């Protein structure tokens, strides 16, 4: 989990060392905005996560813990999932799907990651956060920015975003996503209506199936999300035809998001 998050960590917003995940936080509660930082690590003497948060987030404690549970996929049942995936999960039966602490942030990062490497997407995401986010002080030198809120991004023009090195088409997508979240049209969090949210995501300019499925996999907590056109997934399966990829993945339902994690991991075995 830490290795996955470290490879995608947004500069200024996230920090991962060999024992902990840290990030800045923006939450709105009862009309008030709360900004601060959290640290998540493995508890020393039991199978649990230890969460530390800045005093500024004290009033949001229950929501912080809920978001950490989703980010770290705490509710997953590895035994049940491994049984459903069969041989695919044999080497790493406890592999989980990293979720989203902030759905909008994951949505932006998914759009920035369209058809580029993980490293390239991470670089642009850091530039985006640094230019448009909120400065913050913390005990950690590398945590100094809070990812921008959708309400702020929705008011920008394409030129505002494009000047950060983002293609104009992706800039439009990000602004459209921000507007849809700000006005409540789209909710990027756990939902009983995944199909409905996917339909609304696909209706946004520049949001295709890969982007929608990746967002569903991480922000919507959908265990059966499957970005079947993903280059890494196709490479791991030795396939070039997306339809054959879908057919191959049928036996893994409803755990295809976990299958994706195993396929990606196999590329680095």
Q: Residue ranges per domain, the chain?
A: 2-218
**Could you count the other beta carbons within 10 Å of the beta carbon of residue 143?**
21
Q: Which of 117, 125, 106 is nearest to 225 (CA)?
A: 106
Known catalytic membership, residue 230: yes
Residues 6+ apart with CB under 8 A from 219: 99, 100, 103, 106, 107, 188, 189
Q: Which of 142, 146, 139, 175 is nearest to 160 (CA)?
A: 175
- CATH classification (class only), 2-218: mainly alpha
Question: The pTM is what?
Answer: 0.96
pLDDT digits (tens, 9 = 90+) for 9-60: 999 999 998 799 999 999 998 889 999 999 999 999 899 999 999 999 999 9
The predicted structure's pLDDT at residue 114: 96
pLDDT digits (tens, 9 = 90+) for 232-244: 999 999 999 999 9
Which entry of 73, 102, 221, 230 is annotated as an active-site residue? Answer: 230
The predicted structure's pLDDT at residue 18: 77
pLDDT per residue of the chain (269 residues) written in tens, 0 to 9: 999 999 999 999 999 987 999 999 999 988 899 999 999 999 998 999 999 999 999 999 999 999 999 999 999 999 999 999 999 999 999 999 999 999 999 999 999 999 999 999 999 999 999 999 999 999 999 999 999 999 999 999 999 999 999 999 999 999 999 999 999 999 999 999 999 999 999 999 999 999 999 999 999 999 999 999 999 999 999 999 999 999 999 999 999 999 999 999 999 87
């Amino acid at each position: 989990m830490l290795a996955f998050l470290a490879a995608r960590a947004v500069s200024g917003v996230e920090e991962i060392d060999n024992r902990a995940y840290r990030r800045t936080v923006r939450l709105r509660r009862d009309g008030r905005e709360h900004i601060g930082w959290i640290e998540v690590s493995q508890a020393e003497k039991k199978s649990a996560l230890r969460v530390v948060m800045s005093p500024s987030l004290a009033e949001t404690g229950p929501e912080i813990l809920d978001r950490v549970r989703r980010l770290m996929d705490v509710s997953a049942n590895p035994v049940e999932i491994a049984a459903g995936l069969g041989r695919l999960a044999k080497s790493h039966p406890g592999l989980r799907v990293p979720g989203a602490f902030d759905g909008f942030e994951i949505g932006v990062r998914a759009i920035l990651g369209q058809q580029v490497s993980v490293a390239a997407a991470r670089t642009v995401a850091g530039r985006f956060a640094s230019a448009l986010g909120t400065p913050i002080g913390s005990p950690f030198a590398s945590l100094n920015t809070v990812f921008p809120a959708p309400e702020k991004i929705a008011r920008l023009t394409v030129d505002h975003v494009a000047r950060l090195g983002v293609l104009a088409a992706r800039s439009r997508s990000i602004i459209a996503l921000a507007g849809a979240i700000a006005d409540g049209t789209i909710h990027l969090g756990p939902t009983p209506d995944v199909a409905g949210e996917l339909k609304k995501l696909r209706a946004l300019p520049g949001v295709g199936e890969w982007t929608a499925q990746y967002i569903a996999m991480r922000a919507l907590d959908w265990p059966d999300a499957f970005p079947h056109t993903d280059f890494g997934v196709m490479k791991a399966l030795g396939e070039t035809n997306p339809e054959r990829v879908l057919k191959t993945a049928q036996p893994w339902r409803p755990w295809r998001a976990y299958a994706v994690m195993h396929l990606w991991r196999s590329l680095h075995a």
